[in-house]
Amino acid sequence: MKRIFTNIGELATATGSVAVAGRAQGTLRTLHGAWLLEEDGVIAATGEGTPPEADASVDCGGKLVTAGLVDCHTHLVFGGWREHELAMKLQGRSYLEILAAGGGILSTVRETRKASEDALFEKARGLYLEMLAHGTTAVEIKSGYGLDLETEKKQLRVVRRLKEAFGGVAATFLGAHAFPEGMDHDAYVEQLCTEMIPAIAEEGLADFCDAFCDEGVFTAEQSERVLNAGKRFGMIPKLHADEIREIGGTQVAARVGAISCDHLSETGAEGRKALRDGGVIAVMLPATSFYLKKPYGDFRAMIDAGVPVAVATDMNPGSTPNLSLPFAMTAGCLYGQLTPEEILTAATLNGAAAIGMADTRGTLEPGKQADLVVWDADNLDQLIYRYGTNRAAAVFKKGVRVTGKE
Ligand SMILES: [Zn+2]
């Protein structure tokens, strides 16, 4: 079955099937008065002018069309919310004070342990559908609110159910997200490496393994141990690093051959060089910086250093309960000094590359899955400029409309 998308005012897409590095990241292919031909869920051709014949057609109303967005860093499966911490934050209380008052990540751990798998699934499914309605057609989801084998597996089973229901979902084991209350740190690292990772691998529950390498969390040495253990069991390494302070996370990511290193708001020249030499994708999380009122990190310097940049929401109940990737794109443009073209590449092709999906997703090129968004915007600049409301008019996966305003 062939379907033709006609009357595309502006078709904007990154090109290629691997992460784009250097200045070339800004090179975007833009067509005007364009069409896109889809056959059996795959993009067959794109062009300008008179469209070819097909069995069905979709009129895009002269609007902007891009590839479906790829959110390559989220914590979508969790129990409870933490809105009560807002008042404490506004009173200027520190994260440690909030933690001492029973809040913070360990309160999400308590809620996630308590929740049934079905309840977690229903909640995550609702959030997933909201993300889809905002233009996100592929997503990575981390565990990390169990900090014990049973709950981490429960979270990852929820991710598997989302993967089976929707496709385009990557699962990441983040047992090294925090230390369980009252447990010796080295003993937990030992448990992660020798019990939890093997058990999770046995059930095939995770594609990636991640750790939070930062001041007050996992040391560089502990993170490297966890990622190497994950690798031995077939999980591709990813890493949270340099959010609070540089403690060697970028060097760990490079040494273990991580596919991505994420946060990086404090990364300096040496860290950027390590990422470039290691072929690691930098995943920037500007919505988190916005909500925490923290530095955004130097996106421009990453690109200048030859590091491919992706952008993601980091959606989670504590540091950024936002699931709109377009919001993160606008924040990344303004505070990361990227052009709209670069931020679109970061939110599509490079996001897909950061979760191993660039062969099938992230661009509007022949052979890729026909995941695309018709935006209520005349062009890419307008999409970035009109932030704060959902501009995704219609979202398509494999050529089929899955959500959108009527
Ligand atoms: Zn995160």
237 shares a domain with 126: yes
Q: How far is the CA of 73 from the centre of ligand 1 (A)?
A: 6
Please give the sequence-ordered ranges of beta strands (E in DSSP) within 255-313, or none if there are none: 260-263, 281-284, 309-311
Residue 100: count other Cβ atoms within 10 Å of its Cβ. 11
337 shares a domain with 227: yes
For residue 137, being part of any structural domain is answered with: yes
For residue 359, being part of any structural domain is answered with: no
- Give me the pLDDT at residue 94, please: 82
Q: How far is the CA of 370 from the centre of ligand 1 (A)?
A: 28
266 shares a domain with 154: yes
Report how far residue 139's alpha carbon sits from residue 171's, in angstroms, rounded to the nearest whole number: 9
The more confidently predicted of residues 93 and 36 is: 36
Q: How far is the CA of 99 from the centre of ligand 1 (A)?
A: 18
Residue type present at position 54: A
Q: How far is the CA of 377 from the centre of ligand 1 (A)?
A: 30
For residue 358, being part of any structural domain is answered with: no
Q: How far is the CA of 360 from the centre of ligand 1 (A)?
A: 24
304 shares a domain with 269: yes
Q: How far is the CA of 75 from the centre of ligand 1 (A)?
A: 6
- Give me the pLDDT at residue 17, please: 59
Q: How far is the CA of 279 from the centre of ligand 1 (A)?
A: 21
| Whether residue 406 has pLDDT greater than 70 | no
For residue 306, being part of any structural domain is answered with: yes
Rg (CA), the chain: 21
Q: How far is the CA of 244 from the centre of ligand 1 (A)?
A: 13
Give mean pLDDT, residues 150-164.
98
Question: What CATH number has the domain bearing residue 306?
Answer: 3.20.20.140
Q: How far is the CA of 172 from the centre of ligand 1 (A)?
A: 11
| Whether residue 9 has pLDDT greater than 90 | yes
Q: How far is the CA of 288 from the centre of ligand 1 (A)?
A: 9
Q: How far is the CA of 303 from the centre of ligand 1 (A)?
A: 22
User: Residue 31 belongs to what domain range?
Assistant: 2-67+364-404
Q: How far is the CA of 12 from the centre of ligand 1 (A)?
A: 29
For residue 295, being part of any structural domain is answered with: yes
105 shares a domain with 52: no
> pLDDT digit string (tens) for 184-238?
999 999 999 999 999 999 999 999 999 999 999 999 999 999 999 999 999 999 9
Q: How far is the CA of 43 from the centre of ligand 1 (A)?
A: 32
Report how far residue 100's alpha carbon sits from residue 83's, in angstroms, rounded to the nearest whole number: 16
Q: What is the SS3 assignment for 311-342?
A: ECCCCECCCECCCCHHHHHHHHHHHHCCCHHH
Q: What angle do CA 276, 278, 280 make, to 5 degrees?
A: 70
38 shares a domain with 75: no
For residue 379, give Cα distances in angstroms to 62, 272, 340, 346, 399: 10, 32, 10, 17, 21
Pairing of strands 372-375, 64-67: antiparallel
For residue 318, being part of any structural domain is answered with: yes
Q: How far is the CA of 174 from the centre of ligand 1 (A)?
A: 9
> What is the secondary structure of 126-184 as a DSSP string?
HHHHHHHHTTEEEEEEE--S--SHHHHHHHHHHHHHHHHHHS-EEEEEEEETSPPTT--
Q: How far is the CA of 135 from the centre of ligand 1 (A)?
A: 20
For residue 227, being part of any structural domain is answered with: yes
Q: How far is the CA of 319 from the centre of ligand 1 (A)?
A: 9
Q: What angle do CA 224, 172, 253 make, to 5 degrees?
A: 30
Q: How far is the CA of 7 from the centre of ligand 1 (A)?
A: 39
164 shares a domain with 46: no
Residue 31 CA neighbour count, 13 Å, CB half: 20
| Whether residue 71 has pLDDT greater than 90 | yes
Res. 28 pLDDT band, cuts 50 70 90: confident
Q: How far is the CA of 62 from the centre of ligand 1 (A)?
A: 37
The secondary element (H helix, E strand) that includes residue 32 is: strand 29-39
15 shares a domain with 99: no
> pLDDT digit string (tens) for 311-359?
999 999 999 999 999 999 999 999 999 999 999 999 999 999 999 999 9
Report how far residue 156's alpha carbon sits from residue 182's, in angstroms, rounded to the nearest whole number: 24
185 shares a domain with 77: yes
Q: Which of 353, 374, 395 is the last residue of a domain?
A: 353
Question: What CATH number has the domain bearing residue 391?
Answer: 2.30.40.10
Query: Which position has the token pair 């069905």?
Result: 56
Q: How far is the CA of 77 from the centre of ligand 1 (A)?
A: 12
314 shares a domain with 184: yes
Q: How far is the CA of 295 from the centre of ligand 1 (A)?
A: 16
What are the backbone angles phi and psi of residue 166, rounded to the nearest 5°?
Answer: -120, -25
333 shares a domain with 386: no
The mean pLDDT value of the chain amounts to 95
Considering its fold, how many domains does the chain have in total? 2
173 shares a domain with 34: no
